[in-house]
């Protein structure tokens, strides 16, 4: 099955509004030159408004880095999926390792995935093992546990709204990248989990690789079996680097 490439930029807790506006304009221009590739950016909440304005009329999807699982309520400091939809967001990261490290549990990720789908948005579900998991040989088990919780309440018919990102924790922001072989093996394991739970529908979601992706390693990763796209952190903050990654996708 051919799946359209998906290149996503996680801006994390960076960029004031004016900087976000400039970067979004550059991404929109770069994406216009690659119409066969799906592109999304994930600004901080405070920049969603200006990035939405800047991306108007472009093919770039507006993303958010998280949301609360409740529809509304007494949750000071939180943002609901419906609020994100109202702000023009189309896709939401669920279970990014930096949030898991801050206490987000597997079950909470599952609730967030449900909330995102309920609001009519697309979850981009992040899973990945730590270095200790990898060294202990438990990578597949960790992926299976995180996947099961994230998709506990997902129906096969909803899979066309979901993508997955394999992000080994030890490769995020460290400059260490999984080899294409390691990434492909993890992607195969995740595809097996998707098909095992959902049957043929499990072939639909794209599985992105994330972890210190740069222009220098992006092409090789994308050429590896089972890698449908890239979730780029640090390099997505640099317009020239992100454009190069897109140009070679």
- Rounded to a whole number of angstroms, the minimum distance from the CB of residue 208 to ligand PEP is 9
Task: Decide if 75 contacts 66 (C-beta within 8 A).
Answer: no
Minimum distance, C-beta of residue 166 to ligand PEP, in the bound complex (Å):
10
Rounded to whole angstroms, what are the CA distances from 174 to 168, 191, 214, 216?
11, 26, 12, 15
CB of 155 to ligand PEP, least distance (A): 27
Tokens for 176? 């260490």
> Which one, 198 or 209, has the nearer CB to ligand PEP?
209
Q: What region, left, alpha or beta, does residue 154 occupy, with left being phi > 0 and alpha being psi -120 to 50 degrees? A: beta
- Residue 123 tokens read as 């979850």
Q: How far apart are CB 211 and ligand PEP at their closest, in Å?
A: 5
Question: What angle, 0 to 180 degrees and rounded to 10, lies between the N-to-C axes of helices 17-32 and 239-247?
Answer: 20
Q: Which residues 6+ apart lie within 8 Å of 196 measured at CB?
A: 202
Indicate the residue among 54 and 212 with the shorter CB distance to ligand PEP.
212
C-beta closer to ligand PEP: residue 137 or 175: 175
Active site amino acids: 96, 167
**Interface residue list for ligand PEP (CB under 6 A):** 10, 12, 167, 172-173, 210-213, 231-234
| Of residues 163 and 167, the one with the C-beta less far from ligand PEP | 167
List, in order, residues 6 or more apart from 183 with CB less than 8 Å away.
Answer: 166, 209, 221, 224, 227
């Amino acid at each position: 099955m051919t799946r359209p490439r998906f290149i996503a930029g996680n801006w994390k807790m960076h960029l004031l509004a004016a900087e976000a506006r400039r970067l979004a304009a550059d991404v929109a221009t770069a994406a216009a030159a690659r119409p066969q590739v799906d592109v999304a950016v994930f600004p901080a909440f405070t920049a969603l408004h200006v990035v939405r304005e800047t991306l108007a009329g472009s093919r770039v999807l507006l993303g958010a880095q998280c949301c609360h699982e409740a529809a509304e309520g007494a949750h000071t400091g939180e943002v609901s999926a419906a609020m994100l939809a109202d702000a023009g967001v189309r896709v939401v990261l669920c279970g990014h390792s930096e949030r898991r490290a801050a206490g987000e549990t597997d079950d909470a990720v599952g609730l967030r995935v449900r909330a995102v789908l309920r609001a009519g948005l697309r979850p981009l579900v992040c899973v990945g093992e730590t270095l200790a998991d990898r060294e202990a040989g438990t990578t597949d088990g960790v992926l299976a546990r995180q996947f099961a919780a994230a998709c506990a309440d997902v129906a096969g018919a909803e899979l066309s709204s979901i993508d997955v990102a394999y992000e080994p924790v030890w490769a995020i922001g460290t400059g260490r990248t999984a080899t294409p072989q390691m990434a492909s093996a993890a992607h195969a394991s995740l595809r097996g989990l998707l098909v095992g739970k959902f049957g043929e529908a499990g072939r639909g979601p794209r599985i992105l690789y994330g972890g210190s992706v740069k222009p220098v390693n992006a092409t090789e990763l994308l050429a590896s079996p089972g890698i449908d796209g890239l979730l780029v952190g640090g390099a997505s903050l640099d317009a020239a680097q992100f454009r190069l990654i897109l140009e070679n996708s």
